[in-house]
A = this chain, B = another copy of it.
Amino acid sequence: MSIETTIGQMAKEAKQAADQMARCPAEKKNTALLRLAQLLEEKREFLQSENQKDLIFAREKGLSAAMIDRLILGDDVIVSMGKGLREVALMQDPVGTMGPTQIRPNGLQVAKMRIPLGVIGIIYESRPNVTVDAAGLCLKAGNSIILRGGGEALHSNQALSQCIGQALEESGLPMTAAQVVPVRDREAVKVLLKQEAYLDLIIPRGGEGLIRFVVEHSKVPVLKHYKGVCHLFVDESADLNHAIEISFNAKVQRPGVCNALETLLVHQAIASTFLPQMAKRFKDAKVQLRGCERTCEILPQTTPATEGDWGTEFLDLILAVKVVDDLDAAITHIGKYGSLHTEAIVTSNYTMARRFVREVDSSVVLVNASTRFNDGGQLGLGAEIGISTSKLHAFGPMGINELTTTKFVVFGEGQIRS
């Protein structure tokens, strides 16, 4: 069968399954998720032997140690997938819930009911745990899902897909509600992105290159973020202790993730006091600073920043530092170099806090807290499927609600329009 036929058939079946999923009561979906958690543990040996095939192939292909590390379906990864599924099963089902009811002058009652989006395509790289995590969330929200992980994880993903299919079937749900694309060829991604007749949403997860590829080729709406160039502005009135702890946490706690700090902006009035203290703290953690001219005057040992450093997602223990005149200069810098992902201010000033929150254009804006809190779990959404820096539909971390939409429901007693 050609790739077009294979994927077209999958998409069509996913759409049919979506109709069944949309009408499925919460209990049945939860049963499937809990059964899947069980199955992952029961079939651990099978999963790991299939995973071995991918690992052998990856080593032969000479993949980097970091990529191979992400590919491993270790005991810890299996335990963590199961734990995630059990948490999702416990979450309230959003499907069918209704918001406030409005009464119109003619007596019509109008409300919005939450419904699934339909068919969601997930395109990701080598982490096989995404297969289960994403399927769990999408199924809970009443959607069908088509999963296309990196070619190097194909055996692992197909093995996981078998478990998902079995859990669905045993729970009386259609196996086609979650399907893994059985093709290594990258052409498969292009074909999947053209299934606008069946797919309602594509979520790419991975590096900027993958995401740009998806956006470039997709006919289906895409929710994504390219990168997280997160800023922290230390205002003149900042509590210096907070400023040091928050910047340190934002940069150092997990430097390789999208909500880690990349550029520190410091109010000029506080720079000569704050920067030396901060630099001392960062030195112990081996953070390399790249400073603007004024920063380098205060901290002469600092590597001068180049124009390219502003707006760079280092994903490493590197931090760009800039002294700015005031809040306006900080907001302008963020507007020019930011990625609409996460920005924070440390301040004790009411007006500055309010202005920063209101005027900074970013999916998550924080006052006196670390950028690392841009995360579905941390912000109270439960498990997240990703973070969106596109404004349409969802802006910021996306949880289970963002995998649904609403329709209007109207209750009348014979009303007609005059």
Contacts and interface: CB of A to CB of B under 8 A. Distances in A.
Interface stretch (A125-133, A287-295, A373-381): A373-381
Interface of A: 19, 22-23, 96, 102, 104, 108, 110, 113, 115, 117-118, 200-201, 221, 239, 241-242, 245-246, 248-250, 253, 335, 353, 357-359, 361-370, 372-374, 378-380, 390-393, 395-397, 405-417
A253 B417 CA distance: 8
Given A357-B113, A359-B23, A201 B392 contact: yes
Nearest to A365: B409
B411 A395 contact: no
B19 A416 contact: no
What are the 10 tightest A-B residue pairs by CB atom distance, in nearest-first order?
A369-B412, A249-B416, A242-B414, A372-B417, A393-B393, A366-B410, A364-B408, A391-B405, A369-B415, A368-B412
B391 A395 contact: no
Given A108-B373, A392-B117, A392-B392, A414 B22 contact: no
Given A108-B369, A392-B392, A395-B405, 8 more contacts: A23-B359, A104-B380, A361-B407, A362-B407, A368-B412, A368-B413, A368-B414, A379-B408
B391 A392 contact: no
Contacts of A245: 414, 416
Contacts of A408: 363-365, 374, 379, 396-397
A409 to B, nearest CB: 5
